[in-house]
Structure formats: structure tokens, C-alpha cells
């Protein structure tokens, strides 16, 4: 139930005996209106002071906002909010409509409506139909399924029931704070806003950076107005999250150069023309020292020192600047300035966003809802997050063949994770696809779907054809592959591999590849047999005998060799 913060609406039920009924308010799902239940109550009986108090950035004096901000049920007041939220789109007969005051904004324009309207249910039916028609085996045609997922990025999701909206968002998040009921309430609000911010600290963007913004675009299609923030001030401090040493400060010129290509690289996943674009210098540069000190006096130092990365740096004697300690507070001023409803970011931003909630509360504002997304694992399957420093990333600016090929290198176990994080596929469709498609076909679906978004359908088709030409079973015979002689008298397959072929790779590296399923025996029919760690330590004859077919090739990660007969 959503109620206005109005004196006469508290309780939203009947008064004492003989008193008139108080009005109850429900959102309609239409951002232009709210519905007042109890139509026998005249609008004139409503209190006139519907404005919400709000403090300006850097100021102590309260000001009044023209926004009618619904008041939410506090946490812990029952678990029925989702059930009640399902009925929010049903308009009672004879209800009276009140148009709320527009949300004030000094920067940017309102979000244009989503042009394409369709239903998610029809798209899901189309995907299931394409899945049933797909051939079995590694060569299944998955282009139709990829097309369905690409078109799904254009669907208007504003008319979905609130419980379905919550599921589509929460299923892709690591944290929803304070909880699902509060998220349902905010998603039901007319004019709700979403904050997504970046600090342009580098010029190259990879797939891992795209994960939260893909979800931000989904929320935009649910009707939220997106405030996209470029941290041209905070980038000069440097986000200390997860850092083992201080980050070198950036100049204005560095920030401008890094931002120049960011929009171009990320735009396939997010339409910046349908968001409000901000530079946080617009409100951070005017903040005075007395204003900042007044805020800092209410923020305990213990909040920042709870961070594990800070404690590790202090224990190791590494530097920790005062600017880095203040980073989360400065970031929180963005949320306070924009009066943010929901903020989304990677899980590494959790502590920063919790500070946003604290600062908003200190300023008399309703704290934002926090959504965090996972940091996806790199394509090498080592367990490390995708990053440029590890070399296990997929650059968004790469040519289509490189994007497709890098994704095809991911271990099979990561395919469902990547599908969930990088495409519009639902959980039930992931289960169906992984159960019915060959693992190689499921991986090609992932590679094709991501490449098609970044480089178009034709680019994805060409990249797939090039990949097949290089790695199909016909090409195995034609490729000039190294030949490995596996002596059946060797004490272990691991020793034989290092002696005959992989002398440049460590024993630990080869064991890691086997543990992750990357060590395989292959025949001319492209059948594969995975060699586990135990077999790797055993005799060569036993490992070869375990395969249900005479092995012809040996694959160790991306490397392929022909087995000498």
C-alpha cells in the first residue's frame, strides 16, 4: 500500500465511529496518475500541504519540493506488500483521479516513452518455439533464438504486474536493500527515478562494465527515469573500492578523454537519449567547506573504517588518503541532489551506496533503494573477476570476430551465468536451453546474442561463420596442428603433457584447466570426453582407455594438438 505523506491520509482506513472515512491511495501503474479510493471523499477534504521537506546540498535551511512523494510502509510491517502490489494496476470503479505535481528537475529532460510495445509473454513463447525447432547437437542453428533475445531489448515493460517486475530485477541482483517489499513500492511510484553513475577512469570498456547498465535499461523500460551521472569530480579522487593501493589522481583532461569513447562503446546496451545526463561537478563544485563540515560532523569515521579494503591497506602500511575516505560521502551528495529513488551498481559499490542511504537520511530525505549486480568472472575461468589487468575480458570496442571468439573460450559452467547477466533471457529459458541444447550450441547462443547487440546481426553471423571455419571438425583435419606423442608407459598424463607438448605451462596451470573442464579428448565426429584431475594424475593408458571413443585430438583450454597413433 502506498500512502501520501499527508496529515489526513495517515492510517488510510476508517476513523473513529461517526467520523468520515479517510482516503486511501493506490498507484495505477500509470506514471501520470494516482487513484484515490473512497470516492465519497471530496478532493477538497484533502490537506493542502502535500509538499515534502528537503534540504539542499550544502545547506541547513529546509526547502519545499513540488513533488508529491508517496510515504512507504516502514520495513517489518508485514510481508504482504508484493501481494498488495499485484493489484496496483487495477483501477476501482468510480475512482477519482488526482494529478500529482510534476517532479522538479533543474537538469535534463524527461524520459521519452518507449516506442515499441509488445508483451514479454509473446517473446517467451517465441523463444520456446525456436528452442523446440533447433536441431540437436553442436551445430544447431541458434540465430533465431538470438534474434528473439535481441528484439526483447526493445520491449516496453511498463504494463507488467509489479511482482513480475520485482522478479525480473531481483533475480539479477546480489543485493536488494532494504528488501523486496520496498523495491515493489518504489517501482509502483509515479515518476520514480534510477541513478547510475560512472567515474571515467579508463578509455576501454569491457563486458563486465555492461552488467549493471543492462539492468538499468530494463528498469528504464519499466517506466523509471534514469539519471546517468558522470563523476567528473569523483573521478579525480578515484574510487578506492577493492584497491590495494591509492589510485593516481586524474586531471580534467584525463576525464574528458576517457569519457569521449565511453558513450559510443556502451550505447548498444543503453540509449543515452532516453536518460537525463549529468556531470556531478554541477552541484559538487559549489559546495562550501562549512556546508561539507556540517555534514561530516554527522557521519562517524567508523562507517568508512568498516571497509575491509581500507583495513588491509592500513595493516600493510599502504597509503590511504583523506580524499579516498571522503569518496563515498561525496558520491552520496549525488543521490541527495537528485533525490534518488533507486541506485544500481556493481557489488563493489555496496558500501558506497550504503553511505548514500546514510547521507540522505541525515538530510531528511527518504533513503534510496540499493541494487547491486555481480562482478562476472573472467573468460579464462580462473575465478578472478573480468578485468583488463587480468587479460580475461571482452572489450566492447573489439571487432565482431574477436568478441565472438573470446566468448566461445569461456568454460561451459559460465555459460548460464553470462546468459543471465548479459542477455534478456529469463531463468526458466536458461534452464530449458541448457537442458535441450548441446553445450557448444548454448555457448554459441551466448556469443551470437552478445555480438549481435554490439555489432548487429550480420556481424554476429559473419563472426560465427569465421569461428566455425577455424574450429569445425572439417578444419581440424586441415589445420596444421602440433602432434603430441603420449607414451603409454608414462607415470602420469600430466608428466607426459609437459614433456611432449606443454613444457611452457606449469603443473598447477594444467591441473586448474582440468578442474574447470578444459582438458578434453576429441574425435573426428567432434565428440568430447573431459579428463578430470584424478585421471590427469594417473597413467596415460588409463586416461585414454576411459574415453568411449578412440581419441584423435587433445584440447587443453584453447590449445589443440593431434595425438600421434
Tens-place pLDDT, residues 311-337: 676 666 666 777 778 888 999 999 999
**H/E run at residue 519:** strand 519-522
Quote the CA–CA distance of 340 and 32 in Å, as a whole number.
19
- 45 or 180: which leads in pLDDT: 180
What is the SS3 string spanning 300-313?
CHHHHHCCHHHHHH
Q: What is the DSSP string of 521-552?
A: EE-TT--EEE--HHHHHS-HHHHHHHSSS---
As a 3-state breakdown, the chain gives helix, strand, coil percent values, each rounded to 5, of 45, 15, 45
More confident residue, 513 or 30: 513
Asked if residues 361 and 367 have their Cβ atoms less than 8 Å apart, the reply is yes
pLDDT, mean of residues 24-28:
38
According to DSSP, residue 9 is labeled G
Work out the average pLDDT over 221-235: 91
Reported as a single tens digit per residue, the pLDDT across 339-373 is 999 999 999 889 899 999 999 999 999 999 999 99
Give the residue-averaged pLDDT of 139-156: 90
What is the distance between the alpha carbons of residues 263 and 273, in angstroms, rounded to a whole number?
11
Of these ranges, 55-59, 90-94, 328-332, 368-372, the one predicted with the greatest mean pLDDT is 368-372
| pLDDT number for residue 527 | 76
Parallel, antiparallel, or unpaired: how do β-strands 52-54 and 63-65 relate?
antiparallel
The per-residue pLDDT of the chain, averaged, comes to 76
Average pLDDT over residues 279-301: 92
Name which residue leads in pLDDT, 524 or 338: 338
Query: Distances in Å between the alpha carbon of 329 and those of 119, 226, 353, 359, 541?
Result: 41, 21, 9, 7, 63
- Indicate if the pLDDT at residue 12 is higher than 60: no
Buried b (16+ CB within 10 A) or exposed e, 327-353: bbbbbbbbbbbbbbbbbbbbbbbbbbb
Check whether 178 has a pLDDT greater than 90. Answer: yes
pLDDT score recorded for residue 453 = 96
Residue 498 · residue 504 · CB < 8 Å: no
> Distance between CA atoms of 295 and 274, rounded to whole angstroms?
33
Grade residue 245 by pLDDT with cuts at 50, 70 and 90: very low
The predicted pLDDT at position 338 comes to 96
Report the percentage of the chain scoring pLDDT > 90.
Answer: 41
Instruction: Identify the CA nearest to 143 among candidates 456, 382, 363.
Output: 456
pLDDT band of residue 249 (cuts 50, 70, 90) is low
SS3 (DSSP) at 39: coil
**For residues 470 and 463, what is the distance between their CA atoms, to the nearest angstrom?**
11
Q: Is 156 exposed, middle or buried (0-12, 13-18, 19+ CB in 10 A)?
A: middle
Looking at the chain, the whole-number percentage of residues with pLDDT higher than 70 is 70
DSSP string, 234-302: HHHH---TT-SSPPPP--HHHHHHHHHHHHHHHTTT--GGGSEEEETHHHHTT--HHHHHHHHTTS-HH
Contacts of 540 (CB under 8 A, 6+ apart): 486, 487, 488, 489, 490, 492, 493, 496
Q: Please tell me the distance from the alpha carbon of residue 459 to that of residue 452, in angstroms, as a whole number.
A: 7
User: How confident is the model at residue 144, as a pLDDT?
Assistant: 92
Q: Which pTM value belongs to this model?
A: 0.65
Place 240 in a pLDDT band, splitting at 50, 70 and 90: low
Strands (E), 282-437: 342-346, 369-373
Mean pLDDT to the nearest integer, 12-33: 38
Amino acid at each position: 500500500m502506498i500512502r501520501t505523506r499527508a496529515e489526513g491520509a495517515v492510517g488510510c482506513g476508517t476513523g473513529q465511529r461517526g467520523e468520515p472515512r479517510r482516503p486511501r491511495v493506490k498507484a495505477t501503474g500509470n506514471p501520470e496518475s494516482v487513484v484515490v479510493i473512497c470516492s465519497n471523499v471530496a478532493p477538497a477534504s484533502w490537506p493542502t500541504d502535500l509538499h515534502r521537506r528537503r534540504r539542499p546540498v550544502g545547506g541547513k535551511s529546509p526547502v519545499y519540493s513540488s513533488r508529491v512523494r508517496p510515504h512507504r510502509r516502514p520495513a517489518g510491517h508485514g510481508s504482504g506488500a508484493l501481494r498488495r502490489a499485484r493489484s496496483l494496476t487495477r483501477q476501482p470503479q468510480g475512482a477519482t483521479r488526482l494529478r500529482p505535481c510534476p517532479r522538479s528537475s533543474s537538469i535534463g529532460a524527461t524520459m521519452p516513452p518507449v516506442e515499441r510495445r509488445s508483451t514479454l509473454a509473446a517473446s517467451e513463447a517465441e523463444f520456446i518455439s525456436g528452442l523446440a525447432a533447433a536441431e540437436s547437437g553442436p551445430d544447431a542453428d541458434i540465430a533465431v533464438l538470438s534474434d528473439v533475445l535481441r528484439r526483447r531489448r526493445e520491449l516496453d515493460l511498463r504494463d507488467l504486474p509489479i511482482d513480475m517486475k520485482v522478479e525480473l530485477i531481483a533475480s539479477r541482483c546480489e543485493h536488494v536493500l532494504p528488501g523486496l517489499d520496498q523495491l515493489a513500492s518504489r517501482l509502483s511510484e509515479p515518476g520514480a527515478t534510477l541513478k547510475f553513475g560512472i567515474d571515467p577512469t579508463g578509455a576501454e570498456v569491457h563486458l563486465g562494465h555492461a552488467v549493471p547498465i543492462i539492468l538499468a535499461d530494463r528498469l528504464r523500460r519499466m517506466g523509471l527515469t534514469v539519471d546517468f551521472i558522470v563523476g567528473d569530480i569523483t573521478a579525480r579522487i578515484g574510487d578506492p573500492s577493492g584497491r590495494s593501493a591509492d589510485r593516481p589522481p586524474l586531471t580534467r583532461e584525463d576525464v574528458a578523454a576517457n569519457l569521449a569513447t565511453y558513450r559510443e562503446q556502451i550505447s548498444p546496451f543503453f540509449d543515452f537519449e532516453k536518460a537525463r545526463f549529468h556531470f556531478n561537478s554541477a552541484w559538487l563544485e559549489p559546495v562550501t567547506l562549512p556546508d561539507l563540515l556540517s555534514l561530516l560532523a554527522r557521519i562517524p569515521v567508523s562507517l568508512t573504517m568498516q571497509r575491509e579494503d581500507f583495513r588491509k591497506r592500513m595493516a600493510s602500511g599502504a597509503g590511504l588518503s583523506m580524499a579516498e575516505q571522503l569518496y563515498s560521502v561525496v558520491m552520496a551528495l549525488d543521490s541527495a541532489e537528485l533525490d534518488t529513488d533507486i541506485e544500481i551498481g556493481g557489488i563493489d559499490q555496496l558500501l558506497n551506496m550504503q553511505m548514500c542511504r546514510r547521507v540522505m537520511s541525515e538530510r531528511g530525505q527518504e533513503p534510496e533503494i540499493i541494487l547491486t549486480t555481480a562482478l562476472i568472472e573472467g573468460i579464462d575461468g580462473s575465478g578472478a573477476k573480468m578485468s583488463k589487468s587480468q587479460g580475461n575480458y571482452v572489450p566492447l570496442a573489439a571487432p565482431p570476430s574477436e568478441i565472438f571468439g573470446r566468448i566461445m573460450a569461456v568454460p561451459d559452467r559460465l555459460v548460464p551465468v553470462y546468459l543471465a547477466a548479459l542477455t534478456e533471457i529469463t531463468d526458466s529459458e536458461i534452464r530449458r536451453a541448457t537442458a535441450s541444447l548441446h553445450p557448444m550450441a548454448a555457448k554459441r547462443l551466448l556469443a551470437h546474442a552478445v555480438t549481435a547487440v554490439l555489432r548487429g546481426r550480420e556481424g554476429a553471423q559473419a563472426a560465427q561463420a569465421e569461428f566455425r571455419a577455424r574450429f569445425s571438425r572439417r578444419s581440424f583435419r586441415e589445420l596444421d596442428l602440433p602432434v603430441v606423442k603420449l607414451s603409454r608407459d608414462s607415470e602420469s598424463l600430466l608428466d607426459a603433457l609437459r614433456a611432449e607438448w606443454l613444457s611452457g605451462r606449469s603443473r598447477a596451470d594444467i591441473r586448474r584447466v582440468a578442474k574447470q573442464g578444459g582438458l578434453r579428448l576429441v574425435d573426428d565426429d567432434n565428440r568430447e570426453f573431459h579428463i578430470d584431475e584424478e585421471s590427469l594424475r594417473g597413467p596415460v593408458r588409463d586416461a585414454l582407455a576411459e574415453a568411449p571413443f578412440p581419441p584423435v585430438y587433445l584440447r587443453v583450454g584453447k590449445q589443440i594438438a593431434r595425438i600421434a597413433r
